[in-house]
Amino acid sequence: MIKILFVCHGNICRSTLAEGVFTHKVTSLGLAHNFEIDSFATSREEIGNPPHYGTRNKLRQVQIPLIAHHARQMTRQDYENFDFLIGMDSANIRNMTRIVGGDEEHKIYKMLSFADYEKTHQLSAARDVADPWYTGDFDATYDDIVAYFGVEGQFVKEEYSDHMKANYRYYKWISEDDDSHFIYVNFKENESGVYTVSAYNTSGFSGTEAIEKYLDIVKAEAAEANKAASANAEMKDFSVEIAQFAKDDVKVKIMTKIPVSGWSFDDGGRCLVENDDPTAFGAGAIRFEVRANVEDFDYYKDKFENYQDIEDRVIGGITFHGRTYKYIGYDWIQYIAQLDDGRALSIGLRNMECVPGTMPDIILNNMTFQ
């Protein structure tokens, strides 16, 4: 876990803008779990106040979520709690160093000293990030902050064309250096207002680079669309009894809520499928498996690719261990737990994200067991 603290004079303009931009960037790249990000002030002048309206307006303009925040003053303890303390100008650096009593561990940096690091691999003698409290120019401050993060180009939403199917949206990445360098991403509308990435193609760079740099960003946007639609979806009760293979006496009854339309149950595959047709090839699914002991779910573990333990999750009042991996061409998020003596349950999400507020997350949150 990398802990980063952004600091400015009042903690309502520059540092909150930096916190919002950096949080959005690492979230879009699927790296949020690797970071703890916050912002504080060196002074007490704005303590308790929310971000400046200029910060809020700029983030809204560039479609970056505003993080709920009230100004706080940094303390000596913050030097111990964070790995990097990033000040916006020379006055901030002086005040930060005074507050913490020196910089023996070399944790304090001026923000724009990182601006060219991706190219030079060296810190530079940086100028200050101008304070928009005085300049009123939040555009210039945003440009400075973007320079620090090494952001290239921008995403442009394109309107539907007549020749395109109505259930597809295209996004286009345009490089600042070359307008022939782009990525198109198709979003398939599974149900009204719920979009998932169905395909993509590129120009000017490799498909591998597209996946590494850009695809997670548009997936994050698709998740936001899914979240908005899921909040208003009409739901119905669902229950199913899952038995251990060849042992009908070892079984678990699973109860939850699912959308009235757009989801179905595949009896043969023992899974909830994100499609009205339970046999739909390649559709996202939530698969259930029952065994006697939780260790029994490791029977193919040596064949898992990209295995990684993730944060445990409480489902139906029971703590499930989380892990992700790739197996037989599918990406899995799996939660496993020992329900009681002689019954263990696996809940596996195949080829789907479980972002908070999206339908898979809602289904898991409503789940109980008997």
Could you give phi then psi for residue 332, rounded to 5 degrees? -120, 140
Q: How far is CA 293 from the centre of its chain?
A: 32
Q: What contacts 18, CB < 8 A, 6 or more positions away?
A: 6, 39, 86, 88, 111, 145, 148
Q: Are 333 and 310 in contact (CB under 8 A)?
A: yes
Which residue among 38, 89, 131, 361 is the active-site one? 131
Is 143 catalytic? The answer is no
Long-range Cβ contacts of 323-328 (<8 Å, 24+ apart): 327/300, 327/303
Mark 290-303 as b/e (b = at least 16 C-beta within 10 Å): bbeebeebeeeeee
Strand stretches in the chain, DSSP E: 2-8, 35-41, 84-87, 108-110, 154-158, 168-174, 182-191, 194-203, 235-244, 247-259, 264-266, 271-273, 285-291, 305-315, 318-327, 330-340, 343-350, 368-369
Is 291 catalytic? The answer is no
Q: What contacts 331, CB < 8 A, 6 or more positions away?
A: 324, 325, 350, 351
Quote the CA–CA distance of 352 and 358 in Å, as a whole number.
10
Is 341 catalytic? The answer is no
Quote the CA–CA distance of 11 and 33 in Å, as a whole number.
24
Report DSSP letters for 265-323, one per residue.
EETTTTEEESSSSTT-TT--EEEEEEESSGGGGGTTGGG-EEEEEEEEEEETTEEEEEE
Q: Please list the active-site residues.
A: 8, 14, 131
